[in-house]
Amino acid sequence: MDEPRTLTVDGVALTLVVERKRVKNLNARLRGSTISLSVPYHATRSEIDAAIPDLARTLLRRARARQINGEEDALALARRVAARFPQPPEVHGVAFVTTQRSQWGSYSPSSRTIRLNAVLRPMPRWVLEAVVAHELAHAFHLDHSEAFRTLLQRVCPGTDRADAFLAGVSWLAGNWERLHPVERALLHRSGEEPD
Ligand SMILES: [Zn+2]
């Protein structure tokens, strides 16, 4: 067994234990914050090193998605929002996913499932409600036409405010590294706005 190593993925510190075994491919398992990697005898160190970041990220995000999907209240929230529609769409499940980068959410009318970007999970409820309302409204209008906007305003009057909130989140995420530490510190305000 090689010396355990530490690595940081998505800002999370992990311990990596590499073990050579009679396996065909790399196999990885995440337990707590330890990744156990079984590698074939013929694999070179550089092959292993090249594979590790993606492997670790996949495992970590999958584990994170499982954690946040353990809660039932997102489904209750989604059903509450659905009930506001003139013809309420059915919602059978809500899943927070860590594989969507460019989308806040989606709704599949065939599986009646809502997928939400995991980034939304800790955000205020009214923001989640607005994203759910937006995605459910697409079950009736595929585009962002006038009819879509009218329906959305009707079931979720706070939709413009939520859009602005999310635009601010995206802006900050994209510019965080460019901010001077003093400016970052200015953003940590106590007395957050209530939900
Ligand atoms: Zn849309």
Q: Which pTM was predicted? A: 0.77
> Does 53 lie in the same domain as 87?
no
Expressed in angstroms and rounded, the spacing between residue 129 Cα and the centre of ligand 1 is: 14
- Residues 71-86, mean pLDDT to the nearest whole number: 92
If asked whether residues 92 and 179 sit together in one domain, one would say yes
Q: Answer yes or no: are the C-beta atoms of 82 and 89 closer than 8 Å.
A: yes
Apex CA 123: angle with CA 86 and CA 192, to 5°? Answer: 120
Please indicate, yes or no, if residue 44 is contained in any of the structural domains.
yes
123 in the same domain as 111: yes
- Claim to verify: residue 20 and residue 39 sit in the same structural domain: yes
| Centroid of ligand 1 to alpha carbon of 71 (angstroms) | 25
Taking only the tens place, the pLDDT of each residue in 28-52 is 999 999 999 999 999 999 999 999 9
| Residue 163, pLDDT score | 96
Of 12-26, 157-171, 177-191, the least confident: 177-191
Same domain, 83 and 161: yes
Domain region containing 21 = 5-69
Token pair recorded at residue 121: 């999970």
Does residue 89 share a domain with residue 48? no
Task: Read off the tokens for 138.
Answer: 């697409």
Q: How many Cα atoms within 13 Å fall on the side-chain side of residue 167? A: 6
Q: How far, in Å, is the centroid of ligand 1 from the Cα of 108? A: 13
For residues 92 and 167, membership in a common domain is answered with: yes
* Ligand 1 mean position, distance from CA 78 (Å): 16
Q: Is residue 77 part of a domain?
A: yes
Q: Are 31 and 83 part of one and the same domain?
A: no
Q: How far apart are the first and last CA of the chain?
A: 50
> Do 132 and 82 sit in the same domain of this protein?
yes
Residue 94 C-alpha to ligand 1 middle, in angstroms?
Answer: 17
pLDDT digits (tens, 9 = 90+) for 96-123: 998 877 799 999 999 999 999 999 998 9
Query: What totals of helices (H) and strands (E) does the chain contain, helices first?
Result: 6, 7
Q: What is the mean pLDDT of the chain?
A: 90
- 193 inside domain: no
146: domain CATH number is 3.30.2010.10
- What is the per-residue pLDDT across 125-153, written as a single tens digit (0 to 9) for each? 999 999 999 999 999 999 999 999 999 99
**Count: domains in the chain:** 2
Q: Which of 69, 103, 125 is the last residue of a domain?
A: 69
Is 195 part of any domain?
Answer: no
